Every structure is written in C-alpha cells, then in structure tokens.
Copies of this chain bind each other. A is one copy, B any other.
Amino acid sequence: MLKRYLLAPGPTPVPPEVLLAMARPMIHHRAPEFDKLFAEVREDLKWLFQTRNDVLILAASGTGGMEGSVSNFLSPGDKALTVNGGKFGERWTKLCKTFGAQVTELKVEWGRAVDPQAVADALKKDPSIKAVYVQASETSTAVAHDVKALADIVKGYEETILVVDAITALGVLDLKTDAWGLDVVITGSQKALMLPPGLAFASVSEKAWRLADKAKNAAFYFNFKRERENQQKSTTAYTPAVSLILGLKEVMNILKAEGLEAVFARHAMLATAMREGVKAAGLSIFPQERPSDALTAISAPEGVDGQAVYKNLRTQYGMTAAGGQDHLKGKIFRISHMGYIDSFDVITALAAVEMVIKGLGYPIKLGSGVAKAQEIIMGKS
C-alpha cells in the first residue's frame, strides 16, 4: 500500500466534502435550483476576489481565462506589454501574438521578480500600450511579481489596463483587486480553490470594460461581454460546468468559514515553514527574491538531478510534486502548499524530500528540515 500525496502546483487535493458535493445527482443549468446556486457563488467570488465587479465563471481551464483576457481587450495591431519571467509569462506573449497584438516583452530572469521601474519605463516610452500582462505568482519559478506596484504605475495611464494571471495566487496571496486597481484578474479552479480543473474565473474592472467596448477580436466561447450580460441574470452564455459549480459552493463555504485573513495567514505560515525547512536541511530555494507562498521551488543540490528527486518522490513515496520546466528541467523541483493543505502536509513533504535526496547520495541530516518546520508551525521561530 502506497498512500498518495498530491503536492503538485495544481490540480491540488480536493476536500472530501467537495468531492461528495460534486457527486450529487446532476441538476439542470436552466432551472431555479441552479439559478440560486449561481447567484450565491457569484456573490462569494466577489468576496474572494476582493472586488465589487462581476467575476465571470467560464467552463475551461485557466488558459481559457487567459485567452479571454487577451481576445476581449486587444484588437489586432494593439500594443501589449508582457512580463515574461517564466513559462506562464511566456504564455502571455504567445497569446498576445496569436491575437495579433504588437508585443513588447519584458524578459525577467527566471527566479527573479519584475522590476516595477522597468514597466514604468516601458509605459513612459510608449504610452499607447493598451494592456500589461503579468503573473501574480509565476508557477514555473515560484516567484511572486509585485502586482500592487505595477497597478500603481498602470493606474497613471487612463487607457492602459493591468491584467493579472492569479491562477496560483488568488486565495493564497492577499490581492486587493479593487483597492489596488487590478483591472483583470484570472484564476482557475484547481489551485487554491481546491476543485478539479475545469473552471476559469475573471474579474473585470470598469476601465477594462471600456477597453473591451473598443476591441475587435474573435471572442465567441470566451466572450466576456456576452457572459457578463448572461451571468448578471444568473445564467451563462453556454452550458456551465455544473458539477464543478456545485463543488465551488462547498469550497466557498469552507473559505468563508476560515475567513480571508486566516486563509492568507495559513498559506504564509505554511510557505515559511517549507522554505525555512528546506534551508535548514541544507538545500536552497530557487527564487532569488519574492518567493510565492503558493509553492516552493527547490534547487537540486550539486550532483543531484532534480528530475530524479521528482520521480523518486512519486515512485518511492507516492508523492506527486513537479519538476522544472524548460531550461530549469533537472535544476529544480517544486512542491505546492496551496489549497487544501495543512502543517502536516508540509512536514510530510519535507521529510520525503530529505529521504529522497539522501537516497540519491547527497549528504543531508534527516529530520533537520522537519524540525525547523515544526518550530515555525508551533510559533516558536
């Protein structure tokens, strides 16, 4: 018997009560029962997104939300600024190009956060840029960009919006959508929202809707305006992913019971325990700055293949983590601590990492990382 541990940065574990909610008999999406459910989760999402604006619910994984936040706001030929500090930043660039935008790409060394001044300079140089695309948490490097600082800059341009991929940030980091002025915020169901993949979400500011009014691009399935019209009437333009929305209601109940502040504090504490545990075990975390609280990227130590760590975690201990992507393959491995995760998941992960790395021949003192995490969890460090 090999017990399974899902510690990849999405999908994350789904709480049993949510699994059960989704196993309820199917209901119809054009019936009062669904209307009520949908109206409730819409209100709950505004709370979670810290916004008074509508949060659109789409039947797609997160990339669908990313696509919609390009196709609904940019016309072919429009200028876009993308922050590419990893695999998902790269996706913004590809998406913008696919939809015919003229893209200025701000390359950021993987493992570092974007320097807000670089964005300020780019906008100053070309104020006709219509949208700035960035990740709140870049999953491939486990770095959190400073979206508050970026919002402060973009706010100064009346016709420029800030689009934030918060797929591994929403419900982890305190993102003050309205207060900071994040124009479009995207997330997906399978991260801190503790659901299976299949839902994307997008909040859209009034400033962004004004831009959408002028945009000419082919947006049909991901047509935000059409969705807003429908969703304000508690329905959807196309068939919604009913079972996931049933699960979402259950998730929102869990999150509301915990409270937003507590949710952020829990993630911060777990992330600190993980990072400090890693360091206490003699390993190092990959981010050079602003590590994300959603997951930790750990550098493979000298002589150890990061892919071997990731694979042995699975085969020896039933633990699904993630490897590195592109040029980071073999150099890092990543462990998530977002969503339905508690202290002992972090301790378990640290213990397994210690064992696997020792097993690969690298000298490590078993229990050293675990002990540090215990201290932090007990509030003694």
Seen from chain A, the residues whose Cβ lies within 8 Å of a Cβ on chain B are 4, 6, 8, 10-14, 19-20, 22-31, 59-64, 67, 71, 94-95, 98-100, 188, 190, 196-198, 217-222, 238-244, 314, 320, 322
Contacts and interface: CB of A to CB of B under 8 A. Distances in A.
Contacts of A64: 59-60, 64, 221, 238
A29 to B, nearest CB: 7
B188 A63 contact: no
A6 B23 contact: no
A146 to B, nearest CB: 26
B30 A239 contact: no
18 contacts: A6-B26, A6-B27, A11-B27, A14-B26, A19-B22, A19-B23, A20-B23, A22-B22, A22-B23, A22-B196, A31-B320, A59-B60, A59-B64, A61-B238, A63-B238, A196-B244, A197-B239, A198-B198
B11 A242 contact: yes
A232 B354 CA distance: 36
Contact of A221 (B8, B24, B63): B63
Contact of A196 (B14, B20, B243, B320): B243
B198 A243 contact: yes
Contacts of A322: 30
A63 B27 contact: no
A19 B13 contact: no
Given A14-B25, A25-B4, A30-B8, A60 B221 contact: yes
A243 B11 CA distance: 10
A66 to B, nearest CB: 8
A10 B239 contact: yes
B197 A61 contact: no
A196 B31 contact: no
Contact of A240 (B24, B61, B94, B242): B61
A141 B49 CA distance: 41
Contact of A29 (B24, B29, B197): B197
A140 to B, nearest CB: 13
B239 A188 contact: yes
Given A19-B23, A25-B4, A218-B99, A61 B59 contact: yes
B244 A67 contact: no
Contacts of A221: 60, 63-64, 67, 222
Q: Most B CB atoms within 10 A — which of A94, A95, A197, A238?
A: A197
A231 to B, nearest CB: 15
B197 A242 contact: yes
Nearest to A62: B239
Given A61-B238, A197-B239, 6 more contacts: A12-B26, A14-B26, A19-B25, A22-B23, A188-B239, A196-B241
